[in-house]
Structure 1
Amino acid sequence: MSNRNKLNSKIGQLWKQNRGFVLFLGLMLVFRSAFADWNSVPTGSMKPTIVEGDRILVNKMAYDLRVPFTHISLLHLADPERGDIIIFDSVASDTRLVKRVIGLPGDVVALSDNVLFINGKPLNYSDGAVAGAVNAHAPKQAYELDKTEDLVGIKHSVRVNKQGSHLSTFDAVVVPDGHYLAMGDNRDNSADSRVIGFVPRSEIVGRTRSVVLSFNYENFYIPRKDRFLHTL
């Protein structure tokens, strides 16, 4: 038997022995690409809603049925709604991001001292607890504060610096067709539409509404029991 025939025979044997595993692996990759997946969250840009170490469940069929491993939509199912937490592959930042939808196409959005205005109307806020100092040597007035924001019927927590930042204010902008204005809940510490611009609809890969599990990066990666299957 020639060397080529021996090689082909070995490949054939390996395929017979492992084809079940290979098919399972392929189907799992297709499922994660087109139907559902989980994403780790390495930064605090969505605090206090999502914290570093969270693994969030991503529903990739929330808005579209796509060709696996691509952004090509086979079937349009829905559009993002105000308040949705979306996952998108940002071309502008060259990374995958997790942010909250604030402005829909056609909305006029402005921000003044961390108070959002949508279509000329300010959102309602209720004060929460002091979240902690920005750093160990920060003066008391530089503490972060958690607030509840009423995003036109969607109530959720946001975190702001009491002294504000260069991200705390922007003039009114109109969200263009086919785009969304997205922001992190950690308003003074998030590189979102205020930095990278509007989010194209085609970049959005899914929506999240829950944490699968979470690891505490500051405590030897011990799982956080209170974050297991936590609803966002």
Structure 2
Amino acid sequence: MRNERVLLNGQPLPLSLAEPTTAPNGDLLLSGTERLGAIEYRIQILPDRPALRTFGPVLVPAAHVFVLGDNRDASRDSRFFGAVPILSLLGRVHL
């Protein structure tokens, strides 16, 4: 990630943002969508909340995955614990 943007192989995912609004607690709230392939994901960004929004690049070792939580401002994911060995994964992803 760099400056609120998810990068895949160095390129930012397509992003479409609506006009900024105010969250119920008064924080600035950015809402929109990111596209990965044919799938669009709804996102919300709280730019005033401290988070690891800029990091990397990350070299993911063979037979490992880098996991990024869907609550990017509050997720404890590979930004904190590193790449995960594929053999440690349980279950399947369903989209």
TM-score (norm 2): 0.78
Q: Secondary structure of the equivalent of 2:52? A: coil
CA distance in 2, matches of 1:164, 1:151: 25
1:203 to 85, 88, 91: 88
1:186 to 50, 64, 71: 71
CA distance in 2, matches of 1:132, 1:144: 6
CA distance in 1, matches of 2:31, 2:56: 24
| Match status 1:114 vs 2:1 | no
Higher strand share goes to which structure? 1
CA contact (8 A) 2:67 2:83 kept: yes
Matches within 5 A, 1:1-232: 111-128=1-18, 130=21, 132-133=23-24, 136=25, 138=26, 142-163=27-48, 165-209=50-94
Percent identity between matched residues is 34
CA distance in 1, matches of 2:22, 2:76: 20
AA matched with 2:61: P
Give RMSD over aligned pairs.
2.3
Deviation of 1:201 after TM superposition, in Å, equals: 0.5
AA matched with 1:120: G
CA distance in 2, matches of 1:158, 1:185: 8
Deviation of 1:165 after TM superposition, in Å, equals: 2.5
Q: Secondary structure of the equivalent of 2:61? A: coil
Q: Secondary structure of the equivalent of 1:194? A: helix
CA distance in 2, matches of 1:174, 1:149: 23
Higher helix share goes to which structure? 1
Deviation digits for residues 112-145 of structure 1 (CA, Å, limit 9, x no counterpart): 1110121121111111475834xx3x4xxx3333
Equivalences, count: 94
Deviation of 1:173 after TM superposition, in Å, equals: 1.2
Q: Secondary structure of the equivalent of 1:195? A: helix
Deviation of 1:185 after TM superposition, in Å, equals: 1.7
TM-score (norm 1): 0.36
AA matched with 1:161: L
Q: Secondary structure of the equivalent of 1:113? A: coil
